[in-house]
Structure formats: structure tokens, C-alpha cells
Structure 1
Amino acid sequence: MESIMKLESLISEVTEIVTAIDEVEFNLKLTPDKWSKKEILGHLCDSAVNNHIRFVKILVSDYPIAIQGYAQNDWVRVNDYQNRYDQSDVLALWQQVNRMILRVMQRADSSDFQKKCVLPDKTEVTLEWLFNDYVDHLIHHLEQIEL
């Protein structure tokens, strides 16, 4: 599956990109209500944690799993990536959770990718769609970190 290879590549890419960013720039908040690059990566950690659980639930279930959303801004606030993590710590967390996801998805059978789940708006999608969406979301935020 193409998205598995893409995630594998992104783990290396994100590592190179984040380690090349000066810590002052990584921590910079342009406005109090906008996330810093560190907080964006923290958000991607939260996304990875939530999606890992979703992927595993779908893989071990024989019936469609209801996907619940999460309060993204609250997760970033409660985890306090801006003040409680340094650049290397938030990167290491992101790397490890995404390696967990990668290992789970690599073990999945091709038929597993057709398992169904139901989004909060009641749309039914497959695990393949959800995983592709996860990788696309990651790329979207990576572009914000690269700016």
C-alpha cells in the first residue's frame, strides 16, 4: 500500500526537517492563538495517538467501528508541548508513535484495509481511506512546519 511507504519515508523526512530548524524558530508563536511549529508537531503526536487506537480497533473488529473526534486544541493545551517538551522530546514522541502505527499497518492483510468505520458525521469509510487521510493530514501539517 502506497501510504505505508509514504509514512515510512515521512518518518525520516520529518526527522531531518525538525532537526534542521533552529529551536527559537521552532518555539516561535506568531500570535497567542496560533500554534508554534513545536505545537504543530505536538498536535501530530496527539493525532498519531488517537489514530493508532482507531487503527487497532478497526483491525481487531469484525464490525464497523464508530470513529470519535477529539478536541485538538484542548489536547495541545493539556499536553503543553510549548512549555513541557523540548524540540528533541516532541520529535522522539512523534517518531515512536508513528513507528507503532507503521508496524501495525505493515502487519495488516490486504483484506483488513477494506474493513469499515463510521466517521462522526456518519459517513462510512474503509480503513484504507482512514489511513490515507491520516498520512495526508500529516503532510498538510508538515508543510506548515517547513514554512
Structure 2
Amino acid sequence: MYFKGSQPNIKQSAEQLAMFIDTVRELFQHLTDSELLVRPKPGKWSKKEILGHLVDSAINNLKRFTEIQFLPSPYQLRPYRQEELVVVNQYQHLPLEHLLMLWKMLNQQILYVIENVPSEKLNLTWQVENENDLYHLDFLIADYVAHLGHHIDQVK
């Protein structure tokens, strides 16, 4: 099995996610409309679109975190079309409150799921479709939280 760095700690991942759930609203609500909507460069997302991308990430990862527990192993992780989802969902035009509520509710459910994964299931394996490397569920969870942290840092 493959791990980046040390083996992920599910408790730390859950604590970090809970902290993000508690702080993201405040982070975004302190931004002006122009700060939310400006795209730093052509082809780059605005801060509002980053939040929309995090909604898409939550939707896809909630499905992954649950399905891996009952589908055959290794779970086949299908990548999702990030750029296209941001465009099709038109996050740039949605009210900020709508995006914040959607993001928060999805992540509260993710937190509930990861806090209740039986310890023996943390070693369930998955792989990206059409690739050979195998990973464990606890790595997928830790990677989700790290991905979230990366994008939150972009907004700060």
C-alpha cells in the first residue's frame, strides 16, 4: 500500500475537518463581493468558484467514503471533471449563503461518516480507475482534508 509521509490518523483528520466546518463561513463572510468574484488570472477560479469546487469535492468524496465500505475491494475511484462542474454549476452566480450552507451540510455529513467508520474498514483499498497503485481509505480521508486545507489557504 502507498502512503505519502506517515500513516494517516483518522482522529486528526476528523478534528481538522471539524475546525474547517467551524471557520469557513467566517473566512468567506469577511470577503467583499469583488474579492469573492475576481479571477486572479485567466483560467483560474475566483474565491467563490473555489468554494463551489469544494462543494463538488464534498459531493464526490462523501460518495466515495460511503461506497468503499460496501462495494468490492479495491474500490474503483472515478475521477470527476472539476473544471466542467464549476462551469456547469455556475457557482460564480450563486448567492454566497447558498454555497456556504451547501458546503457546511455536506461536510457535516462527511464528518459524521468518517467519525463512524469502523477501524477495520480504514484499511479497505481503493485505486484510481485504470491505474495500478492501491491506497487505503484512511489515506483517502486524510487527502480530502488536506485538499480542503490547501484551498482554504488560497482564500485567506
TM-score by length of 1: 0.93
Alignment match, 1:45 = 55
Report how far residue 91 of structure 1 moved: 1.0
1:63-102 equivalences under 5 Å are 63-83=73-93, 85-102=94-111
Q: How many corresponding residue pairs?
A: 145
Question: When you count helix as a share of all residues, which structure comes out higher?
Answer: 1
Tell me which of the two structures has the higher relative contact order, counting C-alpha pairs closer than 8 angstroms and 6 or more residues apart: 2
Identity %: 36
- Choose from 125, 129, 147 the match for 1:116: 125
What is the root-mean-square deviation in Å for CA atoms of aligned residues? Answer: 1.2
Gaps of 5+ in 2: 1-10
Report how far residue 62 of structure 1 moved: 5.0
Report how far residue 119 of structure 1 moved: 2.0
Q: Which deviates further from its counterpart, 105-114 or 40-49?
A: 105-114
Given residue 35 of structure 1, which amino acid in structure 2 is its aligned partner? W
Contact 1:23 1:87 in 2 (8 A): no
Given residue 144 of structure 1, which amino acid in structure 2 is its aligned partner? Q
Given residue 131 of structure 1, which amino acid in structure 2 is its aligned partner? I
Given residue 46 of structure 1, which amino acid in structure 2 is its aligned partner? D
Report how far residue 61 of structure 1 moved: 3.1
What is the alpha-carbon distance in structure 1 between the residues aligned to residue 42 and residue 64 of structure 2? 31
1:27-38 equivalences under 5 Å are 27-38=37-48
Contact 1:114 1:127 in 2 (8 A): yes
What is the alpha-carbon distance in structure 2 between the residues aligned to residue 59 and residue 35 of structure 1? 33
